[in-house]
Chains A and B, each alone.
Chain A
């Protein structure tokens, strides 16, 4: 009991925030355990930034409690709150580095706020410069760095006071996919080496897939779903969760085919189906069943299968040829298996010939 309590690093209870009339956050309950990477995903305006800013009280919650590291923040004095904030690092979408300071001096800034001596500062930040791979950029100014390097500086700066919690507000949203990948790797690496608890927010499912242990979905200020990441992909409960998962997979046909897809069925056309698999449905040998059981002929146009923490999910776009009643029956069968089926349109025989 005591131990379990110790392990919770961030606990939000009944957290709400109103901006004169507008409800930005609506009764959020959330717990983040020690050394966990918890990702919050939501669309623009869902309240993600407001939520993460409530954790270090940059934004004052209208109702509810914020407990970080077993300390209730909403009741602290200004002085005590500043001390608590030093144990929480934060990184931002636009890095927020001081343009007039070198990389080294940017990282030193939070320690200067603690009135540390020059020597103690050097002692504290040199390992961080190593860790974030910035050794050869120490004396450069931010305008001489790439986006990825800037975010590394911001990460090093956030870690300077040896925080127990790191808050990340869309830290990779201004970066290209490759740099995003490297930064997320760095965050995971930091979590492992420093036992850091990370709460990150994003609007991209790929970020959740790449580095989170748990995920929460924020929609119009409500935390509508939260789960362990693998479970989440296997059993998304809400339509918005399914939408986020679906939109993270390629869903369009190759252009050469898409141009010829018709909305209505005509003579000598074949239906094009899009199948979504989540969880157990993904492990069924469905292509074989369609061929054997329904005597259909299948032409695979697009396929992607991903595994997230041992759970499989995927998308399959196929053109089918066969008896019309059999096609209808097969769709019903697939739906019964828990596969989402959509008829995208009809493709003429001369584009995709079934011999």
Chain B
């Protein structure tokens, strides 16, 4: 019995990790360029396009303010189209990615805003193209802040994934609801919580480590 529970716990943990990693990956792949575009199109920046900026900013803000539970339902048609089904671990990745994407975009935008404009000016004076300035100056200088922000996003995704799990996505949230809540098995409930705490701690630990390694702003 307890061996089976352990097996289920391991399985649920792997499902959670799968959902979170996949959604984070997708969110970063799409959110990073979106954040860069948000930044460079801002008035007075490298490729100022105020109209594009305000449109994108509005989309990002609206998506960000939709509660995850509603977003999950709202994107069901897209999920069906992309995955072929609206339930299951793979299907949960779609709303999770949608939830994290605008977060990542804002994080990247904010991290770029923190970069000293003197550096952009220096790059321009060196004859850099806008692309070179983004790749060689802006992103590397903002990298530590971007890593910190992404760490936070991944941790948020663990929470969201539990919600997605509760409606058929599998993972630790699903297990907590099915065994812990519906069958009043508090030890299973506790185990899933401990597992989540361990995941969050591990992500924070590695996120901090990476951010520290790439940051040379403070004397270590």
Contacts and interface: CB of A to CB of B under 8 A. Distances in A.
A114 B126 CA distance: 10
Chain B contact surface mostly: helix
Contact of A58 (B121, B132, B215, B217): B121
A114 B125 CA distance: 13
Interface stretch (B135-143, B156-164, B176-184, B198-206): B135-143
A86 B125 CA distance: 8
Interface string A42-56: 000000000000001
Contacts of A94: 116, 118
A92 B126 contact: no
B126 A113 contact: yes
Interface string A302-344: 0000000000000000000000000000000000000000000
Interface string A173-206: 0000000000000000000000000000000000
A100 B119 contact: no
A114 B132 CA distance: 10
Chain A interface: which size bin? 20 to 34
A110 interface: yes
Chain B interface: which size bin? 20 to 34
Interface in A145-194: 157, 161, 167
B141 A96 contact: no
Nearest to B119: A96
B8 interface: no
Nearest to A90: B125
A56 B218 contact: no
B131 to A, nearest CB: 10
Contacts of B121: 58, 92, 96
Given A98-B119, A141-B216, A143-B219, A88 B137 contact: no
Interface of A: 56, 58, 81-86, 88, 90, 92, 94, 96, 98-101, 109-110, 112-114, 141-144, 157, 161, 167
